[in-house]
Structure 1
Amino acid sequence: MPAAGEPHGINTIVDNICGLPPDLLAETCQHILSYLQGQTSGVDTDETFQRLQRAGVRLDHAALEEIIRFLMVTFRSSGKSNLSADDLVKKLEEGSAKWSKASLEVLHKLWGEHGTLVHAQQEAHAMLSIGQLVDMEWKLGMSVSSDSCRSLNSPYVTLRLKIVEPSGQICQRSFEMTIPQFQNFHKQFKEIAAVMETL
Protein backbone atom coordinates (compact mmCIF):
# COMPACT_ATOMS: atom_id res chain seq x y z
CA MET A 1 0.00 0.00 0.00
CA PRO A 2 1.26 3.51 -0.63
CA ALA A 3 2.84 4.94 2.46
CA ALA A 4 0.94 7.77 4.04
CA GLY A 5 4.23 9.58 4.72
CA GLU A 6 2.71 12.81 3.46
CA PRO A 7 -0.98 12.75 4.45
CA HIS A 8 -1.72 16.05 2.72
CA GLY A 9 -0.48 14.62 -0.62
CA ILE A 10 -2.46 11.40 -0.21
CA ASN A 11 -5.55 13.33 0.88
CA THR A 12 -5.35 15.52 -2.23
CA ILE A 13 -5.15 12.43 -4.46
CA VAL A 14 -8.05 10.83 -2.58
CA ASP A 15 -10.10 14.03 -2.94
CA ASN A 16 -9.44 13.95 -6.71
CA ILE A 17 -10.39 10.27 -6.93
CA CYS A 18 -13.59 10.89 -5.00
CA GLY A 19 -14.35 13.82 -7.32
CA LEU A 20 -14.64 11.43 -10.27
CA PRO A 21 -18.10 10.14 -11.16
CA PRO A 22 -18.32 6.45 -10.10
CA ASP A 23 -18.67 5.21 -13.71
CA LEU A 24 -15.51 7.09 -14.81
CA LEU A 25 -13.62 5.91 -11.72
CA ALA A 26 -14.67 2.34 -12.55
CA GLU A 27 -13.58 2.75 -16.18
CA THR A 28 -10.19 4.15 -15.14
CA CYS A 29 -9.70 1.32 -12.64
CA GLN A 30 -10.66 -1.25 -15.33
CA HIS A 31 -7.83 0.02 -17.55
CA ILE A 32 -5.35 -0.25 -14.68
CA LEU A 33 -6.57 -3.72 -13.69
CA SER A 34 -6.40 -4.92 -17.31
CA TYR A 35 -2.78 -3.81 -17.44
CA LEU A 36 -1.95 -5.48 -14.11
CA GLN A 37 -3.53 -8.71 -15.37
CA GLY A 38 -1.26 -8.63 -18.44
CA GLN A 39 -4.13 -8.00 -20.87
CA THR A 40 -2.84 -4.63 -22.15
CA SER A 41 0.61 -3.11 -22.60
CA GLY A 42 -0.09 -0.07 -20.41
CA VAL A 43 -2.52 2.60 -19.27
CA ASP A 44 -2.98 5.46 -21.74
CA THR A 45 -3.14 8.56 -19.53
CA ASP A 46 -3.81 10.89 -22.47
CA GLU A 47 -6.79 8.84 -23.62
CA THR A 48 -8.19 8.74 -20.07
CA PHE A 49 -7.64 12.51 -19.75
CA GLN A 50 -9.58 13.16 -22.99
CA ARG A 51 -12.43 10.93 -21.81
CA LEU A 52 -12.67 12.83 -18.51
CA GLN A 53 -12.60 16.19 -20.33
CA ARG A 54 -15.44 15.08 -22.65
CA ALA A 55 -17.47 14.05 -19.59
CA GLY A 56 -17.00 17.53 -18.10
CA VAL A 57 -14.56 16.53 -15.34
CA ARG A 58 -12.19 19.41 -14.65
CA LEU A 59 -8.96 17.77 -13.57
CA ASP A 60 -5.49 18.71 -14.78
CA HIS A 61 -3.21 16.17 -16.45
CA ALA A 62 -0.74 16.03 -13.53
CA ALA A 63 -3.54 15.25 -11.06
CA LEU A 64 -4.78 12.43 -13.30
CA GLU A 65 -1.26 10.99 -13.50
CA GLU A 66 -1.10 11.02 -9.66
CA ILE A 67 -4.47 9.22 -9.49
CA ILE A 68 -3.34 6.54 -11.94
CA ARG A 69 0.01 6.12 -10.19
CA PHE A 70 -1.71 5.85 -6.79
CA LEU A 71 -4.25 3.28 -8.00
CA MET A 72 -1.56 1.32 -9.85
CA VAL A 73 0.63 1.08 -6.73
CA THR A 74 -2.40 0.28 -4.56
CA PHE A 75 -3.65 -2.52 -6.82
CA ARG A 76 -0.17 -3.91 -7.45
CA SER A 77 0.75 -4.07 -3.75
CA SER A 78 -2.69 -5.47 -2.90
CA GLY A 79 -2.15 -8.16 -5.53
CA LYS A 80 1.26 -9.05 -4.13
CA SER A 81 -0.22 -9.24 -0.62
CA ASN A 82 -3.28 -11.13 -1.92
CA LEU A 83 -5.65 -8.79 -0.06
CA SER A 84 -9.37 -9.40 -0.11
CA ALA A 85 -11.70 -6.59 -1.22
CA ASP A 86 -12.59 -5.90 2.43
CA ASP A 87 -8.90 -5.71 3.41
CA LEU A 88 -8.19 -3.35 0.51
CA VAL A 89 -10.93 -0.95 1.63
CA LYS A 90 -9.71 -1.17 5.23
CA LYS A 91 -6.14 -0.25 4.17
CA LEU A 92 -7.42 2.66 2.09
CA GLU A 93 -9.48 3.99 5.01
CA GLU A 94 -6.42 3.69 7.28
CA GLY A 95 -4.40 5.76 4.80
CA SER A 96 -6.91 8.61 4.51
CA ALA A 97 -10.18 9.66 6.12
CA LYS A 98 -11.19 11.49 2.93
CA TRP A 99 -12.61 8.48 1.04
CA SER A 100 -16.21 8.74 -0.10
CA LYS A 101 -18.50 5.75 0.32
CA ALA A 102 -19.26 5.68 -3.44
CA SER A 103 -15.56 5.53 -4.40
CA LEU A 104 -14.81 2.79 -1.88
CA GLU A 105 -17.78 0.79 -3.19
CA VAL A 106 -16.39 1.01 -6.75
CA LEU A 107 -12.92 -0.11 -5.61
CA HIS A 108 -14.38 -2.90 -3.44
CA LYS A 109 -16.51 -4.24 -6.30
CA LEU A 110 -13.71 -4.13 -8.89
CA TRP A 111 -11.10 -5.63 -6.57
CA GLY A 112 -13.56 -8.39 -5.63
CA GLU A 113 -13.89 -9.23 -9.34
CA HIS A 114 -10.24 -8.82 -10.38
CA GLY A 115 -8.10 -9.15 -7.25
CA THR A 116 -7.35 -12.86 -7.60
CA LEU A 117 -6.41 -12.40 -11.26
CA VAL A 118 -4.04 -9.54 -10.40
CA HIS A 119 -2.53 -11.69 -7.63
CA ALA A 120 -2.00 -14.58 -10.07
CA GLN A 121 -0.32 -12.23 -12.56
CA GLN A 122 1.92 -10.78 -9.83
CA GLU A 123 2.91 -14.32 -8.80
CA ALA A 124 3.69 -15.29 -12.40
CA HIS A 125 5.65 -12.08 -12.91
CA ALA A 126 7.71 -12.78 -9.78
CA MET A 127 8.46 -16.33 -10.97
CA LEU A 128 9.43 -15.16 -14.45
CA SER A 129 11.60 -12.31 -13.24
CA ILE A 130 15.18 -13.06 -14.09
CA GLY A 131 18.38 -11.29 -13.28
CA GLN A 132 20.24 -8.96 -15.61
CA LEU A 133 23.80 -9.80 -16.59
CA VAL A 134 26.03 -6.80 -15.86
CA ASP A 135 29.52 -8.30 -16.11
CA MET A 136 31.19 -11.48 -17.28
CA GLU A 137 34.80 -12.52 -16.73
CA TRP A 138 36.57 -15.64 -17.93
CA LYS A 139 39.96 -17.19 -17.44
CA LEU A 140 41.76 -20.20 -18.82
CA GLY A 141 43.34 -22.70 -16.45
CA MET A 142 44.63 -26.24 -16.11
CA SER A 143 42.73 -28.73 -14.01
CA VAL A 144 44.29 -30.41 -11.04
CA SER A 145 41.04 -32.16 -10.11
CA SER A 146 37.54 -31.88 -11.53
CA ASP A 147 34.31 -33.84 -11.85
CA SER A 148 33.86 -32.94 -15.52
CA CYS A 149 37.42 -33.45 -16.80
CA ARG A 150 38.51 -37.05 -17.33
CA SER A 151 42.22 -36.48 -17.06
CA LEU A 152 44.27 -34.12 -15.00
CA ASN A 153 46.18 -31.27 -16.61
CA SER A 154 43.26 -30.66 -19.01
CA PRO A 155 42.54 -27.04 -19.91
CA TYR A 156 39.31 -25.51 -18.64
CA VAL A 157 37.57 -22.14 -18.65
CA THR A 158 36.18 -20.50 -15.52
CA LEU A 159 33.31 -18.08 -16.09
CA ARG A 160 32.29 -15.56 -13.43
CA LEU A 161 28.96 -13.81 -14.02
CA LYS A 162 27.83 -10.73 -12.10
CA ILE A 163 24.01 -10.54 -12.07
CA VAL A 164 21.56 -7.96 -10.73
CA GLU A 165 18.65 -9.97 -9.33
CA PRO A 166 15.02 -8.70 -9.60
CA SER A 167 15.29 -7.64 -5.95
CA GLY A 168 18.13 -5.27 -6.93
CA GLN A 169 20.80 -7.29 -5.14
CA ILE A 170 24.01 -8.01 -7.11
CA CYS A 171 25.28 -11.58 -6.92
CA GLN A 172 28.07 -13.54 -8.57
CA ARG A 173 27.91 -16.99 -10.12
CA SER A 174 30.96 -18.99 -11.17
CA PHE A 175 31.26 -22.24 -13.09
CA GLU A 176 33.83 -24.23 -15.01
CA MET A 177 33.62 -25.62 -18.54
CA THR A 178 35.81 -27.83 -20.63
CA ILE A 179 37.21 -26.27 -23.81
CA PRO A 180 34.57 -28.01 -26.03
CA GLN A 181 31.80 -26.81 -23.68
CA PHE A 182 33.17 -23.26 -23.79
CA GLN A 183 33.37 -23.37 -27.61
CA ASN A 184 29.71 -24.49 -27.75
CA PHE A 185 28.79 -21.73 -25.28
CA HIS A 186 30.59 -19.17 -27.46
CA LYS A 187 28.79 -20.45 -30.59
CA GLN A 188 25.39 -20.14 -28.88
CA PHE A 189 26.18 -16.58 -27.76
CA LYS A 190 27.04 -15.63 -31.34
CA GLU A 191 23.74 -17.12 -32.55
CA ILE A 192 21.82 -15.20 -29.90
CA ALA A 193 23.59 -11.96 -30.89
CA ALA A 194 22.75 -12.55 -34.56
CA VAL A 195 19.07 -13.10 -33.74
CA MET A 196 18.96 -10.00 -31.52
CA GLU A 197 20.35 -7.84 -34.32
CA THR A 198 17.34 -8.76 -36.47
CA LEU A 199 14.86 -7.56 -33.82
Structure 2
Amino acid sequence: MPAAEESFGMNSVVDNICRLPPDVLKDACQHVLTYLQGQSSGVDSAEISHRFQRAGVTLDHEALQSIIRFLLLTFRSGGKNKLPADELLSKLEEGSNKWSKASLQVLHVLWSEHGALVHAQQEAQSMLSIGQLVDVQWKLGMAVSSDTCRSLNSPYVCLLLKITESSGQIRQRSFEMTIPQFQNFHQQLKEMAAIMETV
Protein backbone atom coordinates (compact mmCIF):
# COMPACT_ATOMS: atom_id res chain seq x y z
CA MET A 1 0.00 0.00 0.00
CA PRO A 2 1.47 3.41 -0.91
CA ALA A 3 2.26 5.76 1.98
CA ALA A 4 -0.51 8.21 0.99
CA GLU A 5 -3.15 5.45 1.01
CA GLU A 6 -1.81 4.06 4.30
CA SER A 7 -1.91 7.53 5.85
CA PHE A 8 -5.46 8.07 4.57
CA GLY A 9 -6.54 4.70 6.01
CA MET A 10 -4.95 5.54 9.37
CA ASN A 11 -6.56 9.00 9.42
CA SER A 12 -9.94 7.46 8.57
CA VAL A 13 -9.69 5.04 11.54
CA VAL A 14 -8.51 7.84 13.83
CA ASP A 15 -11.45 10.02 12.67
CA ASN A 16 -13.87 7.21 13.57
CA ILE A 17 -12.21 6.69 16.96
CA CYS A 18 -12.41 10.42 17.70
CA ARG A 19 -16.12 10.42 16.82
CA LEU A 20 -16.74 8.08 19.74
CA PRO A 21 -17.80 9.61 23.05
CA PRO A 22 -15.05 9.07 25.68
CA ASP A 23 -17.09 6.53 27.68
CA VAL A 24 -17.84 4.49 24.52
CA LEU A 25 -14.16 4.56 23.48
CA LYS A 26 -13.18 3.53 27.00
CA ASP A 27 -15.59 0.60 26.87
CA ALA A 28 -14.24 -0.60 23.48
CA CYS A 29 -10.64 -0.28 24.71
CA GLN A 30 -11.45 -2.24 27.87
CA HIS A 31 -12.83 -5.09 25.73
CA VAL A 32 -9.54 -5.21 23.82
CA LEU A 33 -7.39 -4.87 26.94
CA THR A 34 -9.31 -7.62 28.73
CA TYR A 35 -8.51 -9.96 25.84
CA LEU A 36 -4.84 -8.92 25.68
CA GLN A 37 -4.51 -9.55 29.43
CA GLY A 38 -5.73 -13.13 28.93
CA GLN A 39 -9.00 -12.56 30.79
CA SER A 40 -11.27 -13.36 27.82
CA SER A 41 -11.03 -15.68 24.85
CA GLY A 42 -11.46 -12.93 22.25
CA VAL A 43 -12.84 -9.51 21.39
CA ASP A 44 -16.60 -9.72 20.79
CA SER A 45 -17.19 -7.21 17.99
CA ALA A 46 -20.96 -7.89 18.07
CA GLU A 47 -21.07 -6.84 21.75
CA ILE A 48 -19.04 -3.71 21.00
CA SER A 49 -21.38 -2.92 18.08
CA HIS A 50 -24.46 -3.25 20.36
CA ARG A 51 -22.88 -0.91 22.90
CA PHE A 52 -22.09 1.61 20.15
CA GLN A 53 -25.72 1.47 18.97
CA ARG A 54 -27.07 1.92 22.52
CA ALA A 55 -24.86 5.01 22.82
CA GLY A 56 -26.22 6.36 19.52
CA VAL A 57 -23.00 5.77 17.55
CA THR A 58 -23.59 4.37 14.07
CA LEU A 59 -20.64 2.84 12.27
CA ASP A 60 -20.67 0.34 9.45
CA HIS A 61 -19.24 -3.11 10.05
CA GLU A 62 -15.93 -2.41 8.27
CA ALA A 63 -15.34 0.82 10.25
CA LEU A 64 -15.99 -1.03 13.52
CA GLN A 65 -13.62 -3.84 12.55
CA SER A 66 -10.95 -1.28 11.60
CA ILE A 67 -11.23 0.35 15.04
CA ILE A 68 -10.93 -3.01 16.79
CA ARG A 69 -7.93 -4.04 14.64
CA PHE A 70 -6.29 -0.67 15.28
CA LEU A 71 -6.75 -0.94 19.06
CA LEU A 72 -5.49 -4.53 19.09
CA LEU A 73 -2.41 -3.60 17.06
CA THR A 74 -1.71 -0.47 19.12
CA PHE A 75 -2.03 -2.14 22.52
CA ARG A 76 -0.26 -5.32 21.40
CA SER A 77 2.65 -3.28 20.03
CA GLY A 78 2.73 -1.13 23.17
CA GLY A 79 2.87 -4.26 25.34
CA LYS A 80 5.52 -5.94 23.23
CA ASN A 81 7.74 -2.85 23.33
CA LYS A 82 6.91 -2.11 26.98
CA LEU A 83 5.96 1.47 26.11
CA PRO A 84 4.94 3.88 28.86
CA ALA A 85 1.66 5.74 28.23
CA ASP A 86 3.36 9.00 27.18
CA GLU A 87 5.49 7.21 24.59
CA LEU A 88 2.50 5.27 23.25
CA LEU A 89 0.62 8.53 22.72
CA SER A 90 3.64 10.13 21.04
CA LYS A 91 3.73 7.25 18.55
CA LEU A 92 0.01 7.64 17.88
CA GLU A 93 0.39 11.37 17.27
CA GLU A 94 3.31 10.70 14.90
CA GLY A 95 1.06 8.39 12.88
CA SER A 96 -1.81 10.86 12.54
CA ASN A 97 -2.50 14.50 13.30
CA LYS A 98 -6.25 13.84 13.55
CA TRP A 99 -6.31 12.76 17.20
CA SER A 100 -8.65 14.59 19.56
CA LYS A 101 -7.45 15.51 23.02
CA ALA A 102 -10.33 13.58 24.65
CA SER A 103 -9.52 10.35 22.77
CA LEU A 104 -5.83 10.56 23.61
CA GLN A 105 -6.70 11.18 27.24
CA VAL A 106 -8.84 8.01 27.38
CA LEU A 107 -6.04 5.96 25.79
CA HIS A 108 -3.46 7.46 28.17
CA VAL A 109 -5.47 6.63 31.30
CA LEU A 110 -6.28 3.08 30.19
CA TRP A 111 -2.73 2.31 29.06
CA SER A 112 -1.33 3.70 32.33
CA GLU A 113 -3.60 1.28 34.21
CA HIS A 114 -3.31 -1.79 31.98
CA GLY A 115 -0.09 -1.54 29.96
CA ALA A 116 2.07 -3.46 32.45
CA LEU A 117 -0.52 -6.27 32.61
CA VAL A 118 -0.64 -6.53 28.81
CA HIS A 119 3.16 -6.71 28.71
CA ALA A 120 3.25 -9.41 31.42
CA GLN A 121 0.64 -11.48 29.55
CA GLN A 122 2.61 -11.22 26.30
CA GLU A 123 5.80 -12.29 28.10
CA ALA A 124 4.01 -15.32 29.55
CA GLN A 125 2.53 -16.24 26.17
CA SER A 126 5.89 -16.00 24.44
CA MET A 127 7.43 -18.33 27.02
CA LEU A 128 4.57 -20.80 26.64
CA SER A 129 4.25 -20.57 22.87
CA ILE A 130 5.87 -23.84 22.00
CA GLY A 131 4.66 -25.90 19.10
CA GLN A 132 2.05 -28.60 19.48
CA LEU A 133 2.91 -32.01 18.07
CA VAL A 134 0.30 -33.01 15.49
CA ASP A 135 1.75 -36.11 13.86
CA VAL A 136 4.79 -38.39 14.04
CA GLN A 137 5.88 -40.61 11.17
CA TRP A 138 8.91 -42.83 11.12
CA LYS A 139 10.65 -45.24 8.85
CA LEU A 140 13.56 -47.61 9.19
CA GLY A 141 16.31 -47.24 6.63
CA MET A 142 19.73 -48.60 5.78
CA ALA A 143 22.70 -46.39 4.96
CA VAL A 144 24.25 -47.68 1.73
CA SER A 145 26.31 -44.68 0.61
CA SER A 146 27.73 -41.65 2.34
CA ASP A 147 30.42 -39.02 1.88
CA THR A 148 31.15 -38.80 5.58
CA CYS A 149 30.17 -42.12 7.15
CA ARG A 150 32.59 -45.04 7.16
CA SER A 151 30.29 -47.66 8.66
CA LEU A 152 27.73 -48.27 5.96
CA ASN A 153 25.05 -50.91 5.92
CA SER A 154 23.97 -49.76 9.38
CA PRO A 155 20.26 -49.21 10.10
CA TYR A 156 18.83 -45.81 11.07
CA VAL A 157 15.44 -44.40 11.94
CA CYS A 158 14.09 -41.33 10.16
CA LEU A 159 11.47 -39.33 12.11
CA LEU A 160 9.13 -36.80 10.53
CA LEU A 161 7.34 -34.52 13.02
CA LYS A 162 4.43 -32.23 12.14
CA ILE A 163 4.21 -29.33 14.59
CA THR A 164 1.61 -26.58 14.83
CA GLU A 165 3.46 -23.38 15.74
CA SER A 166 1.96 -20.58 17.83
CA SER A 167 1.20 -18.68 14.60
CA GLY A 168 -1.09 -21.55 13.57
CA GLN A 169 1.11 -22.77 10.74
CA ILE A 170 2.03 -26.45 10.53
CA ARG A 171 5.74 -27.09 10.05
CA GLN A 172 7.52 -30.34 9.35
CA ARG A 173 10.78 -31.29 10.99
CA SER A 174 12.73 -34.42 10.15
CA PHE A 175 15.84 -35.99 11.62
CA GLU A 176 17.67 -39.27 11.60
CA MET A 177 18.88 -41.35 14.53
CA THR A 178 20.93 -44.46 14.92
CA ILE A 179 19.17 -47.45 16.46
CA PRO A 180 20.75 -46.85 19.94
CA GLN A 181 19.74 -43.16 19.76
CA PHE A 182 16.20 -44.15 18.81
CA GLN A 183 16.01 -46.68 21.66
CA ASN A 184 17.14 -43.97 24.12
CA PHE A 185 14.56 -41.55 22.64
CA HIS A 186 11.87 -44.20 23.02
CA GLN A 187 12.84 -44.78 26.66
CA GLN A 188 12.66 -41.05 27.41
CA LEU A 189 9.20 -40.84 25.85
CA LYS A 190 8.01 -43.75 28.02
CA GLU A 191 9.36 -42.01 31.13
CA MET A 192 7.63 -38.75 30.20
CA ALA A 193 4.33 -40.60 29.61
CA ALA A 194 4.60 -42.27 33.01
CA ILE A 195 5.27 -38.95 34.76
CA MET A 196 2.38 -37.24 32.94
CA GLU A 197 -0.03 -39.96 34.10
CA THR A 198 0.79 -39.12 37.74
CA VAL A 199 0.06 -35.39 37.29
Interval of TM-score (by shorter of Structure 1 and Structure 2)? 0.7 to 0.9
Partner of 2:148 in structure 1? none
Q: Are positions 1:91 and 2:130 aligned together?
A: no
Partner of 2:26 in structure 1? 26
CA distance in 2, matches of 1:28, 1:68: 8
Q: CA offsets per residue over residues 77-118 of structure 1, 9 Å max, x none? A: 111111110110000000000000110010011000000000
Partner of 1:131 in structure 2? 131
Partner of 1:116 in structure 2? 116
- Amino acid aligned to 1:161: L
- Amino acid aligned to 2:94: E
Q: Which runs of 5+ in 2 are unaligned?
A: 144-152, 194-199
Q: Give, in angstroms, the shift of residue 44 of structure 1.
A: 1.0
Partner of 1:59 in structure 2? 59
Partner of 2:196 in structure 1? none
Partner of 1:174 in structure 2? 175
- Amino acid aligned to 1:31: H
Contact 2:162–2:170 (CA under 8 A) maintained in structure 1: no
Map 1:138-153 → 2, pairs under 5 A? 138-140=138-140
Note closer, same or farther for the CA distance 1:4–1:184 as it changes in structure 2 (3 Å cut): farther
CA distance in 1, matches of 2:133, 2:185: 20
Q: Which runs of 5+ in 1 are unaligned?
A: 144-152, 190-199
Q: Give, in angstroms, the shift of residue 183 of structure 1.
A: 8.2
CA distance in 2, matches of 1:100, 1:185: 59
Contact 1:135–1:162 (CA under 8 A) maintained in structure 2: yes
Partner of 2:35 in structure 1? 35
Contact 2:14–2:99 (CA under 8 A) maintained in structure 1: yes
Note closer, same or farther for the CA distance 1:139–1:4 as it changes in structure 2 (3 Å cut): farther
Partner of 1:101 in structure 2? 101
- Amino acid aligned to 1:7: S
- TM-score normalised to the size of structure 2? 0.75
Identity of aligned residues (%): 62
CA distance in 2, matches of 1:5, 1:126: 33
Contact 1:129–1:166 (CA under 8 A) maintained in structure 2: yes
RMSD: 3.4
Partner of 1:159 in structure 2? 159
Partner of 1:79 in structure 2? 79
Contact 2:156–2:176 (CA under 8 A) maintained in structure 1: no
Aligned pair count? 179
CA distance in 1, matches of 2:43, 2:176: 42
- Amino acid aligned to 1:111: W
